[in-house]
Every structure is written in C-alpha cells, then in structure tokens.
Amino acid sequence: MSVEQQTNDLLDVFSKASAGLFEITVRYIKHFEQGLYGCGLAKPSKRMRNALAIDREVLVVVSTFTDQQQRTIKFAMQEIQESQGRLETTMAIVLHRDKDGNSKLRNWGRDAGISILPILEVESLKDSITLERALCVELYSHDTFDVTGPVSDDANFYGRRDEAIDLARKLQKGQIRSCLGIRKVGKTSIVNRILREVQTSHDCLCVMVDCSKDDVWGLDAAGLLSSISKTLEFALANQKKYAKISSSTKAPVLADTRAQFENVLRKVGRPFILVFDEVDYVTPGSPTNQNWREQFNVFWRNLRAVYQEASREGVVFSVLIAGVSAHWFTVESIEGVENAALAFVPEEYLTPMPLGASVAMLRRLGRIAGLQIDDSAAELIAAATGNMPYWARKCGSYINRNIPVSERPCEITRDRIEPMVTTFVKEEGAAIAEVALRHLFRVYPALFKAASLCHEGKGAQVSERDKRILRRYGILQGASDVLSGQMMTAGFQVLKEGTSGIEPVVPATPDGLNLSLDEWAEELAAVGKRRNLVERRLRELVLNFLRFDCMSSGSLPDLLQRIISIVPSKSREVLAHLTAEQAVSKFNWTDIVKLIGKEWVLFEKLFGDKDIFMKHCDVINDRYDAHAKDADSADFALYRRSLKYVEERLSKLQ
C-alpha cells in the first residue's frame, strides 16, 4: 500500500471515530522536507469547543512514519501560520504510528509553544468516546496555569489589556507615565504589551532602556543620555519603530550630549516614547552602582530640560517609567541638592487585579486544563494570593498538579481545594511572597516599619500616606490595615523571622565559639533554606536563558539537546523524551553549575568572573546538613559568603 493511501486511510478512520466530535471540512496531502503528510481541518462540535476551550477549526496532521521526527511539529506550525487565522494557533492533533510518538510529539510541541494532541492509531481511534478521552487527557496533562516570565500575547495576558491600550494611547500625546508595583505583579508584562500596541496600532518611535542590564546601570548620567541619543539616531537612520538601548563606550561631555539629543529629537517627525524598565537600578537606592546617588539628579535634570524644550518646540516626547519604587522621585533633595526629578514622574501603581478579573482568569485557565472552577473556589484562590496574577497562577498550578488527569473534566469546589490552598501557602507561597517583599523593602526601606506595625495589629500608628502606598502595592487589603491574603501574611512572617530590618542576618561568630545543638540546627536550617531558594532560581534562570537564546537563533527544537548534553550518554537516553522543563527539574546542583559553565557566554554578564563563580558554587555544594561533614563557624561564614555572592547576582534580575 502506498504512503498516500495509508495517509488517506488513517484520516478516514479518524473521521469515522470523531463523529459527533469533529467534522472534517477540508482534507489534502502535502510534501514537506522529503516527507508526505496528510491534513484535515476539523470543525469542533459545541461539546468539543467547551471541552477544549477552542472556537476555531483544529489542524489534524497525519504522519505515517514509525519513528516521528521534529519536522512534524515544524510542518504543523507552518500550516497553522499559513491558514491566516482560520485554525487554532495553540493546538493541533497528530495521527501517527510511532509507539513512542506520543511523548516525543507532546514534548517537542511544548518546547515550540504549541499543544500537540498525539493519537496513536491502534489505541484511540476505536470510537468517539475513546477518542474524546484520549484528546482530553493529552490536553489536560499540560499545566496551563504555570508561567515563568513576562507575557504580552492574548492567550496569557489577563485583566490589564484595556489598561495597556489606554496607556499606549496616552503616550502618543507627550505625557510622562509610570508603572510601579511589587515584584511579579506584571510590570514588565504590561510594558511589553504597551510596546506591542504602539508598534502595531500607532505611528511612533520607541527606545527601550532596560536599566537592569550591567552595561546600562554601569553608565553615568552623561553616558546614559548619550546612549539614548545615539540609539534614537540609529533607529531613525534605519527607519525602525523600536530599538533597545545600545550603551556608549565613550566618555561624553554632558552639555554636548544634551544638545545632540535635542537635535535628534527634532528629526523624529512623529511621537517619540522613551521607556525605562527596572528604573530602580539607576536611582540613589541602586543595589549595583552607588554612583547613582550623585548621577541620578544630574541625569533627570538634563532629561527634564530636553523634555521641556521638546514641548516648547512642538515635538511629541513621552516617557514611561516602570519599576518598584517612586520614592526617589518624591524626596525634596538628594545629597543636599534639590531633587530635579521631584514630581516629574507621577506615582501610578500597578495594583493587584480586581477580584472579577482574577476569577475570570482562573476559571478560563482551569477550563483549558479540564478543571471547572466555580466562583467560590476561584474567589478563595484570589483572596489567598492577594489578587496578584502571578501568585494566583502559581496557586492554580499547585492545584492542577494535585488533581489527577484521569478525573477530568471535573468540577472544582471551594471545599475540595481549601486544604490545597493552605498547603500551597506553606510549601511554596510564603517563599514567593517573601522574595517580593524583601525586594520591595530593599528599594523602599521606609515601608518595612509601616508594614511591620500593620502586621502586628498597630495600624493606627502608621501614617495615612504610608498606608495608602502599602495599599497601592497590594500589601494591605482594601481600606483595612491588615495584610492582603494568606500568602502576603505568611511571606511577611517569614521575612520578619529571617531578617533584622531588611538584609539577612549574618551573625558574627567569634573564633572558637562552641554553639549549642539548637544553634547549630538553626544555622543548618538557615543556610539550607537559602541554598534551596538559590538552586530553584538558578534552575529557572538556566531554562529561560537557553530558551530565549534558542528562540533568537531559530533553533528552539534543539533546546532539550543543549540542556541534556552535559549529562552522561546513558542518562541522556532517559531524559531524551522529556520536555526541557522536566529535564532541568531532574538536574542536581552540580548539573546546573556544569550547564552554566558550558553555556558561559550567556551568563557572563550576570555572574562576572567564571573562576570566582565556580569556586563559590563548589563551596555551596558542601551541604553540611546533608553530607554529614565536619564544619565550624568559619566554614559557615564562608558558606554564607558564597550564598550571598550568588544571591546578589541573581538579584540583578529582580
């Protein structure tokens, strides 16, 4: 039997088995990379539209190969792209004859950003009931709640779309806007969404300044202003609508730089938007460059002068600032000098989402995962997580992992998930909230005492101004003086127990001091907790950096192979059919460090000297709590120093 006949037969079997579920409206055969594929456009019934949370036709790909290759995924994505919106962009069905194909196709699809529902002909094409269950199980095995980085696409952007569109429109009129908020509240996501809106819906030019980059916060005022000016000039010369800042290596004269910036602005001829993200890195409270205590005033005094001159000349010049704190834009003087940025930037906070938006987000994500979350259950999750979208999704991900796929689709009630929410807060939520709070109080120390008093039930002693700011950050609940939700309360409790003020307590232990058993236990627990947090963050960092590099080079299908290349060949075979996330999750500390070392070119700007980084990682690998090694107070001091070294470099990404 010819390959073409086999392909048609398999599509016929699917069409028969899917009666009542799908209607094949179009079918064709196509050659791709020396292979032959069958295609069908399947129109879902109302039942399947609800079960799979889709509203467009689904691509059905037929591949008769007994050993599936990644080109099947490439072919499916090409066909979806060429359909011009007719087909679902987030999923496709693949009919195949490879006994190991289900796991391979599913994992390759996830790495490429698409849900592949693989169907092995002998298993799932008996009747419509068997096919429906197979499709749902395949789809529901994917965690739709979990998200690791900023988003801007419609599939993942919830609750703030109108806000982003409104800000994009206002920035066309020469305004200064800000987007402030606690870590992981969605600042970078909304900035990305705004940039997407202004590029697709408006005729303007944007320059993006990511202040968390080493080559940006390492500049002085003149250098930063010069870099912005030259980047704008480059964008004009190359007729670009968007450009990220390119740091200047020369030492410019400030007055000349300001004049150059004004001259370039006159040539733009359309609205110009200057966007600062992670602006806290170039303020007097910068955790990385103390020179900004002096340079902050200089930079904003000159940028303000350029902005005002542009306004007088009729040039549309807008500024968008995103970061954690507007504190340094509100103080009257810095280092005894009048603050040039005073009241220049409005205090506009990205507050937690409204309850209705949180509930809608959770219910939609749950429906895709086969979890029909009722309103009371969704409200419980939203309340526990303080209506923080990232926190709510992490809680939803925990619940998703603890409900068997075999039960879905199923209804999720408040009574069923209440114990899960409580457990999540204890096991994961408190640590997530603690990191966000620690970062906030490091860049805005004055709020720590105010939050402490509210936590202790002494809110009456806190000024209304401080309470208003805490409410805008989402730390206080509504108009009350109590902390917002279980996660916020638990995170603040962990922060208070582990700190004296803001920074971690590193007790000075005199040489030769003999600690009691309880004190040794506390030391072990403290360093163990910090080490586990660092390891988890390194794991996420490695995955995100490698994925971004693969996406930039167009080699996303090679992501898994790059990750597992550092393990022995026998172990590599075991990991070959996993997703990139699953493979990284199985790495131990030494595997992660080895992978960073191999891909050092990606991490050099973050970690600095490779030899120093590796030495600190070797020290951290001496797990006194797990390896039963002899250790004295000096060993613990060295261990804490190495942890602090890695923590400080990771904090640059916050």
User: pLDDT tens digit string along 49-88?
Assistant: 876 767 899 999 999 888 888 899 999 999 998 988 899 8
CA distance 480 to 467: 9
Range 85-108 average pLDDT: 86
pLDDT band at residue 518 under the 50/70/90 scheme: low
Domain 161-338 CATH (choose: 3.40.50.10470, 3.40.50.300, 3.40.190.10, 3.40.449.10): 3.40.50.300
Specify the pLDDT at position 508: 35
Most confident of 43-47, 403-407, 419-423, 465-469: 419-423
Tell me whether residue 651 is exposed, middle or buried, using C-beta atoms within 10 angstroms of its C-beta: 0 to 12, 13 to 18, 19 or more. middle
Report the amino acid identity of residue 38: G
Higher pLDDT, 622 or 14: 14
Range 558-576 average pLDDT: 84
pLDDT tens per residue across span 522-551: 666 777 778 888 888 898 888 888 888 887
Instruction: Give 338's strand partners.
Output: 333
**Within 64-100, where are the H helices?**
71-82
pLDDT tens per residue across span 339-378: 888 878 888 888 888 899 899 989 988 887 888 899 999 9
170: tokens are 């206002």
CA atoms within 13 A on the CB side of 190: 32
Strands (E), 33-143: 35-44, 57-62, 87-96, 115-120
CA distance 448 to 503: 11
Which has the closest alpha carbon to 335: 291, 381, 378?
Answer: 291
Task: Inform me whether the pLDDT recorded for 257 exceeds 60.
Answer: yes
pLDDT tens per residue across span 154-205: 445 555 777 888 889 999 998 999 998 888 788 888 888 898 888 888 899 9
CA distance 551 to 460: 52
CA distance 74 to 83: 14
User: How much is the mean pLDDT over the chain?
Assistant: 84
Specify the pLDDT at position 506: 33
Supply angle C-alpha 578, 584, 585, rounded to 5.
90
CB within 8 Å of 467: residues ≥ 6 apart: 450, 454, 459, 476, 481
pLDDT band at residue 149 under the 50/70/90 scheme: low
Helix, strand, coil percentages (3-state) for the chain, rounded to 5, are 55, 15, 30
Which has the closest alpha carbon to 134: 188, 172, 96?
Answer: 96
pTM attached to this predicted model: 0.62
Strands 57-62 and 87-96: parallel
CA-to-CA separations, 385 to 9, 231, 371, 436, in angstroms, rounded: 51, 40, 19, 13
Specify the pLDDT at position 521: 61
CA distance 55 to 420: 32
Specify the pLDDT at position 148: 59
Strands 35-44 and 22-32: antiparallel
**Cβ contact 642:619 at 8 Å:** yes
Specify the pLDDT at position 295: 92
Q: Is 197 helix (H, G, I), strand (E, B) or coil?
A: helix
pLDDT band at residue 479 under the 50/70/90 scheme: confident
CA distance 43 to 236: 47
pLDDT tens per residue across span 119-141: 887 666 777 777 777 777 666 76
CA distance 237 to 234: 5
Range 400-409 average pLDDT: 83
Specify the pLDDT at position 151: 52
Specify the pLDDT at position 158: 57
Specify the pLDDT at position 319: 95
Task: Say which DSSP state 382 is in.
Answer: H
Where do the domains of the chain lie? Answer: 3-140, 161-338, 355-498, 517-653
Specify the pLDDT at position 382: 94
Q: Is 177 helix (H, G, I), strand (E, B) or coil?
A: strand
Give, rounded to a whole angstrom, the gap between the first and last alpha carbons of the chain: 59
